[in-house]
Structure 1
Amino acid sequence: MNDIQEVKDTLATKPQHLTDSVHVFAPATVANVVCGFDVLGFAVNEPGDEVIMRLTNKPGITISKITGDEGRLPLNPAKNTVSVSVEHYLKSIDRTDIGVDIELHKKMPIGSGLGSSSASTVAGLFAIKTLLGDDTDPSTLLPFAMKGEEMACGHGHADNVAPALLGGFVLIRSYEPLDVVRLPHPENLWCAIVFPDVDVPTREARQIIRNKINMKDAVTQWGNIAGLVSGLFMQDIDLIGRSMKDILVEPVRSMLIPDFYEMRQMAMDMGAVSFGISGSGPSVFAFTRDEETAKLITNKLRNHLTGIKIGSYGYVSTINDAGPRVMC
């Protein structure tokens, strides 16, 4: 039985909905994890986005409110990643007869490299799934979340939406066919995240990446990805740290981030296990063995950015294994 048929069969044996409204949070994510371009990502506890969704009497999807976006996101449901992904989901289960109103509350910076569009999209999909009483595995929503990513940045990758939806540390083993694997991780692995308030659009950040690489570089990168995944399974933080090196994407994307290498040196000198770019940037992150070190690194990097007249946001988190959650 395919996933969509499973959803249809599940809904056919349930009441049409369990509630008329729901408030959902979905988390930010760190994609690529340095060496795993488009195939690795993990969820964090904060920041994240929230969606309040209500069923209405009039068929179709409306967006009645967006907050926290400084007017940057469209209320037009045909142009918003949340409504577009929800529409794809409803069409797939033959439920375009229902009406849905969406409030989107952005609680995280747009264009941060922390999966802002993914968090919104996942919150919306999890909300409609909850409203309809669909208790199938959340992974059934992944293809619809990728539709939102395709609209947001021109490429339907899953390294943000998969961890936002499933929680934890995620490997995209294959895109055709889609094959997603949740990975274990050390419980005491902390993440320090700093978002320098500069503009690095995702589309442009993808365009500067090399299309061709030599075999020697590819072998090095494969070894690092394998080492990182092995370190996660073995709970070996040292192996995780020495595997998180990127010779393909970081050298070009780092040029878009002010003082990237200076910040990396600061973090490593303070005891970071590893340091790299979150997604397409400009956010950077460091793994540490404890919360105190993560906080110290976050403060140090933010103070450095203040010194060069760049504002910033900082977050400290363990890996979030829960993914989206209903708030009320």
Structure 2
Amino acid sequence: MHAIRLHAFGPTENLTYEETEDPLPGPGQVRIAVAAAGVHLLDTALREGMQGPAPAPTVLPTVPGREVAGVVESLGKGVDGRWLGKNVVAHLGFAPGGYAELAVTDVERLHELPENLDFAEAVAMIGTGRTTMGILQFAELGPDSVAVIPAAAGGIGTLLVQYAKNAGATVVGLAGGPGKTARVLANGADFAVDYKDPDWPGKVRAHLGGRAATVVFDGVGGSVAREAVALLGPGGRHIVFGWSGEGLHDGEPYLVEGVSEQVLGPVMLSRAGGANPVRTLELRALAEAAAGRLTPAVQRFPLAEAAAAHRALENRGTTGKVVLEP
């Protein structure tokens, strides 16, 4: 098979497209012919050897990637034969191997694809979608809500805009540049503004006509978060789930006592409940997409161009979920 391999930590150029041995499914595992593999901002940090919510690989070379969708084409010992030939999506967990034509995972991680969901969309929902579902557990959105969403053209931002509009909220989306703000408006936001414009907070206030924001969904941190939090009225909420705007590794979230709440992974899972909280959120995300209530934005790259996909992510040159297609 062909795969993207990382032989040494470092820049994007270290991601190389190579021919390598096919992986073999062990007991309780399946092998998937990959049709789409997700790329996450965290992947860029792991490529550089940095630690994060997921540990960087300790053995090189490695095949990065933890989200795949495709067709089950081989079964390991003990796996029910009904899975053979099924269209599936899976988050591989801490075991990488997604940037490849073939990937192996435990059968317990599989979700059969709804008929109206394509492979790339399914990959977006199994990772980005489940995170969005986790975030939304902390927001009670309704017709009286005014939601401010930084990075509204991104993968999570796109879904937050749609969900908030479905709930009847007034939605203000922030994005970088006229192309992205146009996408945010097309996605259903009531107002979209370029956060590179120094007067963007004033433009939001003018649009709202005296109404205050009730919730800020913040995955960027930094100066944008500071200005967004200033738009909140009494009782408003600042829901923090990342701080990419200040750098994935060195930044800090912008927190205000009594207003801000961090809802990173463990907190999301504790709220989700169930015997397997991760799977609970995955099922919710896939159900929202299958019902047509949420439609993820996807930007596709050929598998061989994984390095270009990483560069685009790091340079904020992407819109929605980045997906590699063999």
TM-score (norm 2): 0.30
TM-score (norm 1): 0.29
Q: Higher helix proportion, which one? A: 1
